[in-house]
A = this chain, B = another copy of it.
Amino acid sequence: MGEKNHLGEFELIERFFAPLSGEGGFGLKDDAALMKVSPGKALVVTQDAIAEPVHFLPGNPPETIARKALRVNLSDLAAKGAVPTAFSLALGLGDAWREDWLEGFARGLAEDCRTYGLTLSGGDTFRTGGGTVISITAWGEIDPAQYRSRLTARPGDRLFVTGTIGEGALGLLAHTGKLPSLSAGTRDILERRYFVPEPPVSFAPLIAEFASASMDISDGFVGDLEKLATASGFDVEVNVPDIPFSREVREALDSGGVSPDRALESALSGGDDYQILFTVPESRVASFLEKAHKHSETGENTLVTPLAVIRKGSGRVRVLGDNGEPLEFAATSWRHF
Query: Which A residues contact B (CB, under 8 angstroms)?
Result: 5, 7-9, 12, 24, 26, 29-37, 39, 42-55, 76-77, 79-80, 82, 88-90, 92-94, 121-131, 133, 135, 137, 139, 142, 144, 147, 149-151, 215-216, 231, 335-337
Contacts and interface: CB of A to CB of B under 8 A. Distances in A.
Contacts of A45: 32-33, 35, 88, 121-122, 137, 139
Contacts of A9: 335-337
A47 B89 contact: yes
A80 B31 contact: yes
A231 B30 CA distance: 9
Contacts of A51: 92, 126-129, 133
A44 B25 CA distance: 10
A89 B31 CA distance: 18
A36 to B, nearest CB: 5
A314 to B, nearest CB: 15
A137 B88 contact: yes
A44 B37 contact: no
A49 B126 contact: yes
A335 B8 CA distance: 8
A248 to B, nearest CB: 27
Nearest to A24: B42
A3 to B, nearest CB: 14
A47 B90 contact: yes
Given A45-B139, A55-B126, 6 more contacts: A8-B337, A32-B77, A35-B42, A35-B43, A47-B137, A51-B129
Contacts of A76: 31-32
16 contacts: A9-B335, A9-B337, A24-B42, A30-B151, A32-B77, A32-B82, A34-B42, A39-B39, A47-B88, A47-B89, A47-B122, A54-B128, A55-B126, A90-B137, A128-B131, A130-B130
B54 A32 contact: no
Contacts of A90: 47-49, 90, 135, 137
Nearest to A127: B54
Contacts of A80: 30-32, 34
Give the interface centre of A49, A89, A93 by most chain B CB atoms within 10 Å.
A49
Nearest to A89: B47
A336 B125 CA distance: 8
Nearest to A12: B337
A34 B24 CA distance: 20
Contacts of A54: 126-129
Nearest to A75: B31
Contact of A31 (B55, B133, B142, B216): B216
A337 to B, nearest CB: 5
Contacts of A123: 47
B49 A135 contact: yes
Given A51-B127, A137-B88, A43 B46 contact: no
Given A54-B126, A76-B31, A151-B29, A133 B92 contact: yes
